[in-house]
């Protein structure tokens, strides 16, 4: 069995960004291996730490570390309901780390890795019905093509889709990785990394509806922040970061009317102050010590 081995990304930057104090109430919306929460708990002595995760294994592991935390098995998009159920109206800080956890990648039978052979699964929530195997083997070509193109930003999406359709049924991760490898030019490694990397990313994003919930989560989370409270979000690829950036921009803008509109008719009022016009990224030392952090981007905003 794989044990939780988790190196929190941008730990000091997150702690600094949240500006935590004793007695604060903080939500770690993706508690994972408790890497960030362990440090947060030490800084909010006398306060309340709430942890959410849609992976039951993460909740079980974190509960053994965060003895006094209130941990809930839930997707972060349901943050408002979770807080309501706990009788908590507002909080001082909210953190979300959008990346797949090291535990999920390293646990072979979860089917996230293209480096080890396992059933095609990729579910963060093991109670969910949709698996990578269903996507790969049952989706029509045009739908599968769109997923690989849009979520993987894979230049050879047509060739890979055609190869998958031809090779069906595909049952394991290495089978899928081999199909991807044979579908792309032999020099792919020089410019695009592992030939299966983007396809696996795309299918994982779709299986877990990763992009669909980010904007909704941020907007819901913002309503539960106290004035001066902060929200910090770590993303790991351009698709996630783009949504976080745009949502922060929208919530930090008073008027959303077209630029040429003579007067504001939308009535929109800013609820956030964007504190990171450019995302905070790992130092060279962190990226070297923890290669999985190299693409991380941290954006922070404050409730007004």
The answer as to whether 117 is a domain residue is no
50, part of any domain: yes
* 18 and 68 both lie in a single domain: yes
> Does residue 86 share a domain with residue 221?
yes
pLDDT, tens digit (0-9, with 9 covering 90-100), for 188-224: 877 778 999 999 999 999 999 999 999 999 999 999 9
Residue 87 and residue 53 in one domain: yes
Q: 115 lies in a domain?
A: no
> Both 140 and 289 in a single domain?
no
How open is the CA angle 207-210-215, to the nearest 5 degrees?
A: 150
How large is the average pLDDT for residues 243-259? 95
Q: Give pLDDT tens digits for 84-112.
A: 999 999 999 999 999 887 778 888 899 99
In the predicted model, is pLDDT for residue 180 greater than 90? Answer: yes
Find the length of the chain.
Answer: 304
Q: What is the mean pLDDT of the chain?
A: 94
Query: Does residue 148 sit within a domain?
Result: yes
Q: Which of 207, 229, 248 is the last residue of a domain?
A: 207
Look at residue 304 in the predicted model and tell me its pLDDT: 97
For residue 161, being part of any structural domain is answered with: yes
For residue 179, the model assigns a pLDDT of 98
By C-alpha distance, which of 105, 124, 123 is closest to 115?
105
Task: Say if residue 76's pLDDT is above 60.
Answer: yes
Provide mean pLDDT across the span 288-304.
95
Query: What is the CA 49 to chain-centroid distance, rounded?
Result: 20
- For residue 146, give its domain range: 124-207
Pick the last residue of a domain from 176, 207, 238: 207
Question: Which whole number is the average pLDDT over 276-302?
Answer: 96
With respect to residue 130, please indicate whether it lies within any of the assigned structural domains.
yes
HEC assignment per residue over 69-118: CEEEECCHHHHHHHHHHHCCCCEEEEEEECCCCHHHHHCHHHCCCCCCCC
**Does one domain contain both 143 and 199?**
yes
Domain tally for the chain?
A: 2
Q: How confident is the model at residue 292 (pLDDT cuts 50, 70, 90)?
A: confident
Same domain, 251 and 222: yes
pLDDT, position 246: 97
Is the pLDDT at 1 greater than 50? The verdict is no
Question: Based on C-alpha coordinates, what's the Rg of the chain?
Answer: 20
- State the pLDDT at residue 213: 96
In the sheet that holds 225-235, the strands lie side by side as 70-73, 48-53, 25-28, 91-97, 225-235, 297-303, 272-274
Give tens-digit pLDDT for 4-55.
666 899 999 999 999 999 999 999 999 999 999 999 999 999 999 999 999 9
Least-confidence region, from 89-98, 123-132, 152-161, 260-269: 260-269
pLDDT at 226 over 60: yes
Q: Which residues pair with 300 in a beta bridge?
A: 232
Average pLDDT of span 273-285: 97
Residues linked to residue 96 through DSSP beta bridges, in sequence order: 233
Share of the chain above pLDDT 90, in %: 86
Looking at residue 250, which CATH number applies to its domain?
Answer: 3.40.50.150
Q: 262 pLDDT exceeds 90?
A: no
Domain CATH number, residue 178: 1.10.150.170
Element (H, E) at 250: helix 238-251
Whether the predicted pLDDT of 119 surpasses 90: yes
């Amino acid at each position: 069995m794989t044990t939780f081995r988790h190196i929190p990304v941008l730990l000091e930057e997150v702690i600094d960004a949240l500006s935590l104090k004793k007695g604060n109430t903080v939500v770690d919306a993706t508690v994972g291996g408790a890497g960030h929460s362990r440090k947060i708990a030490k800084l909010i002595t006398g306060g309340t730490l709430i942890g959410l995760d849609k992976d039951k294994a993460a909740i079980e592991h974190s509960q053994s570390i965060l003895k006094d935390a209130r941990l809930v098995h839930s997707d972060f998009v349901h943050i408002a309901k979770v807080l309501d159920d706990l009788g908590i109206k507002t909080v001082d800080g909210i953190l979300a780390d959008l990346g797949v956890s090291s535990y999920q990648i390293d646990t072979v039978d979860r089917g996230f890795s293209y480096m080890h052979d396992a059933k095609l699964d990729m579910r963060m929530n093991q109670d969910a019905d949709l698996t990578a195997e269903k996507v790969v083997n049952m989706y029509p070509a045009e739908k599968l093509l769109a997923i690989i193109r849009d979520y993987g930003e894979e230049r050879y999406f047509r060739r890979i889709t055609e190869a998958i359709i031809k090779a069906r049924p595909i049952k394991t991760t290495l089978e899928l990785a081999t199909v991807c490898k044979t579908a792309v030019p032999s020099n792919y490694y020089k410019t695009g990394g592992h030939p299966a990397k983007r396809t696996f990313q795309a299918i994982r994003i779709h299986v877990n509806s990763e992009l669909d919930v980010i904007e909704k989560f941020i907007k819901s989370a913002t309503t539960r922040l106290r004035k001066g409270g902060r929200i910090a979000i770590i993303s790991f690829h351009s698709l996630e970061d783009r949504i976080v950036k745009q949502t922060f921009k929208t919530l930090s803008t008073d008027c959303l009317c077209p630029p040429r509109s003579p007067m504001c008719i939308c009535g929109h009022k800013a609820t956030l102050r964007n504190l990171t016009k450019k995302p905070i990224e790992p130092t060279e030392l962190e990226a070297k010590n923890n290669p999985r952090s190299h693409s991380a981007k941290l954006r922070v905003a404050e409730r007004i």
